[in-house]
Structure formats: structure tokens, C-alpha cells
């Protein structure tokens, strides 16, 4: 995959939805762009997995190296190939082509194949959430000591260097020994901004970030947490579950389906049934419609509260946060 640091801001405007969590922003990104190189040779793809951000503008640079043999790349919902997400033109090798399409907006595991050789040439097309982190360098210090993201997410660090005439960057390592680099952003001299994009480690745990120019002064902890998906449906003026359970500190996606035609609903999470302190308040949608809500679960285990804000007396439940499992 071709990654780069942008010094003039995001490639596209940020989506309107913003959630403030732990001092930074978690947002949906409207059409990030990503390019993947994929080759067919000896009746096989050179990749078993392709990973992209949700909703991204994807370019697959496809090279067919099998002389005289027809191949393509097609993306489906599952290996049953009943729902087509994208179906590329078939080309005879040796030849190359760029396929362009929009990735699904819903994170999850999809399926790709060559339609000419569907039993031999297949793979997994993984769509991950995008997390945006605002990070500022000022007076030789970062404004955050900790950054938390879900495992495997597509991360955009919107970095603002406010130190005039001084170079800074953001770099991510396995530990404070900085022996293995996961990502090293281009250095920029302030005042200037850059957007750094990369995939978070798939393994949960604590990692290390720093400015490579000032490695003793500007450091922090990069925490990778598990991601959890919960399905919730509203139908007949009721939720289909009265309890939602997630581990503490996880990145939660609530896939909410409003099946009540013409009726508005949402899902909102509070500290208790008094609804005085809000953890997350989902957008109200009118059915039939589905939406994904994303947020970080509370760090403290306990029983919290969720409801539909439009029908707070009718549609309620317990939001149970459990202690995280031991590693």
C-alpha cells in the first residue's frame, strides 16, 4: 500500500460527525484515498488479504502476468458472491489496469476473487474504521501523553507543529527502545501542519510514540485496544435487546438498525438512568435505516444505561462494561 504524509491537510473534507474521546477526536472520514498493488501470476494472486479504510476511494493497480490468460478482480459481500461491491474488467496478460471504486462504509470482512478462476484465486477484503487524532507540538512538547485507537484501524494523525522554525514529527515504535518502527512521519518545520496516515498494529497493547528530532523530550504512549461490534435493532417501539455488554476501554461499534418506518430513533449511552452524564449520543435516524455509531467504552467496569432519546420512557436498557480479559 502506498502511504504518505500530507502537508496541506486531509485529501477530502472531514465528515460532520465528531466525538470527543479522551481529549482527541474520533471521526468518520469522507473518502480517504488508498492504492493497493495486486498481481496475478501462475493462476494466483500475490496477496491473500487487502485492507482499506471504510468508505475510502480505492485504486487497485492490478497486473496480470499470466500471458494469454484472462483475469480480473471482483469484490463481494461473502464467498457466496451474491452481492457485488465491485467487478473489475477482465484483462488478458501480460497487461495491467487500475480499478477504482468506493470501499464499503461498514467495517468488516468481505471477499475478493478472480471471476474467471473463482475456486483458485480468492482472498479477504478487510474494511477497517478510520480514527482521527489531533496532535499538537508546542514549546517542545506534545499536547497529549496518550493516544488510544482500535486494533488494526486506519489512523490519521492531524499534526500541528506550532514551534516556529523548529522541526518536529510523529513516529510510532514498538517500545521506548525504538528498535522497530511502525510509522515515521515526515519532519515539518513550524508553523505547519501535516496529516500522517497508517494502519494501527493489529496486536492490542501499549506502544510508544515520539518526535524523532527531540526523542528525550517529546514522547507518549500509543494504546491499541480491542474493537467490538454490537448489533442493535429498533422495531415496534422497542430495542431487540435490553443488555449490551462490552469490555472496558474497547472501541465499540454499535450497528443500529431502525426498522420502524417513519419513526425516529437513536441509541444514547449515559452513566445512569438519570441521564445526566452522557458517554455517547447517537444521531437520530428515521426508519427504515441503518447507521454505525462508534465510541470508546468507559475504562471503569460497571452497569451503565442506554436509551432512545426520542422515546426515553419506552426504549431503555443496561450497558454493562466488564473488566478486560487478562492477556
Confidence (pLDDT) at 23: 32
User: To 5 degrees, how large is the angle CA 84–CA 88–CA 91?
Assistant: 145
Confidence (pLDDT) at 326: 55
Supply the pTM of this predicted model. 0.76
Confidence (pLDDT) at 107: 87
Confidence (pLDDT) at 157: 97
Confidence (pLDDT) at 132: 92
Look at residues 111, 56, 58 and name the one whose alpha carbon lies nearest to residue 82. Answer: 111
Confidence (pLDDT) at 233: 98
Confidence (pLDDT) at 32: 85
Look at residues 62, 67, 77 and name the one whose alpha carbon lies nearest to residue 114. Answer: 62
List per-residue pLDDT tens for the chain, 327 residues long.
Answer: 333 332 222 222 223 223 333 333 333 444 689 999 999 999 999 999 999 999 999 999 999 999 999 999 999 999 999 999 999 999 999 999 999 999 998 888 999 999 999 999 999 999 998 999 999 999 999 999 999 999 999 999 999 999 999 999 999 999 999 999 999 999 999 999 999 999 999 999 999 999 999 999 999 999 999 889 999 999 999 999 999 999 998 999 999 999 999 999 999 999 999 999 999 999 999 999 999 999 999 999 999 999 999 999 999 999 999 997 655
Tell me whether residue 8 is exposed, middle or buried, using C-beta atoms within 10 angstroms of its C-beta: 0 to 12, 13 to 18, 19 or more.
exposed
Look at residues 227, 287, 292 and name the one whose alpha carbon lies nearest to residue 254. Answer: 292
Domains and CATH numbers, the chain: 5-29+130-225 (2.60.40.420), 33-128 (2.60.40.420), 227-322 (2.60.40.420)
Q: CA-to-CA distance for 255 and 286, rounded, in angstroms?
A: 15
Residue 42 to residues 45, 46, 68, 72, 115, Cα–Cα distance (Å): 8, 10, 12, 14, 16
User: Do β-strands 285-286 and 167-168 pair in parallel, antiparallel, or remain unpaired?
Assistant: unpaired
CB 136 within 8 A of CB 114: no
Amino acid at each position: 500500500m502506498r502511504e504518505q504524509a500530507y502537508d496541506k491537510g486531509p485529501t477530502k473534507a472531514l465528515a460532520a460527525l465528531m466525538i470527543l474521546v479522551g481529549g482527541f477526536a474520533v471521526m468518520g472520514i469522507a473518502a480517504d484515498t488508498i492504492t493497493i498493488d495486486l498481481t496475478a501470476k501462475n493462476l494466483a494472486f500475490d496477496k491473500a488479504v487487502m485492507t482499506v479504510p471504510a468508505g475510502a476511494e480505492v485504486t487497485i493497480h492490478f497486473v496480470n502476468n499470466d500471458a494469454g490468460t484472462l483475469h480480473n478482480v471482483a469484490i463481494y459481500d461473502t464467498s457466496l458472491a451474491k452481492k457485488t461491491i465491485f467487478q473489475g474488467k477482465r484483462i488478458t496478460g501480460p497487461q495491467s489496469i487500475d480499478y477504482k471504486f468506493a470501499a464499503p462504509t461498514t467495517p468488516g470482512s468481505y471477499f475478493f476473487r478472480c471471476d474467471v478462476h473463482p475456486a483458485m484465486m480468492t482472498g479477504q477484503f478487510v474494511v477497517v474504521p478510520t480514527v482521527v487524532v489531533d496532535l499538537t507540538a508546542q514549546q517542545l512538547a506534545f499536547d497529549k501523553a496518550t493516544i488510544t485507537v482500535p486494533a488494526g484501524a486506519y489512523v490519521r494523525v492531524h499534526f500541528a507543529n506550532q514551534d516556529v522554525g523548529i522541526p518536529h514529527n510523529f513516529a510510532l515504535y514498538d517500545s521506548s527502545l525504538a528498535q522497530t518502527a511502525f510509522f515515521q512521519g515526515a519532519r515539518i518545520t513550524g508553523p505547519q501542519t501535516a496529516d500522517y496516515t497508517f494502519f494501527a498494529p493489529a496486536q492490542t497493547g501499549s506502544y510508544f510514540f515520539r518526535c524523532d528530532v527531540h526523542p528525550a523530550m517529546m514522547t507518549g504512549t500509543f494504546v491499541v485496544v480491542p474493537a467490538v461490534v454490537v448489533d442493535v435493532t429498533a422495531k415496534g417501539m422497542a430495542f431487540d435487546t435490553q443488555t449490551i455488554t462490552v469490555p472496558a476501554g474497547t472501541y465499540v461499534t454499535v450497528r443500529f438498525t431502525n426498522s420502524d418506518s417513519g419513526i425516529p430513533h437513536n441509541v444514547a449511552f449515559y452513566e445512569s438512568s438519570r441521564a445526566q452524564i452522557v458517554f455517547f449520543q447517537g444521531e437520530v435516524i428515521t426508519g427504515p435505516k441503518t447507521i454505525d455509531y462508534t465510541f470508546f467504552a468507559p475504562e471503569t467496569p460497571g452497569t451503565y444505561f442506554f436509551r432512545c432519546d426520542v422515546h426515553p420512557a419506552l426504549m431503555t436498557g443496561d450497558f454493562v462494561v466488564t473488566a478486560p480479559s487478562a492477556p
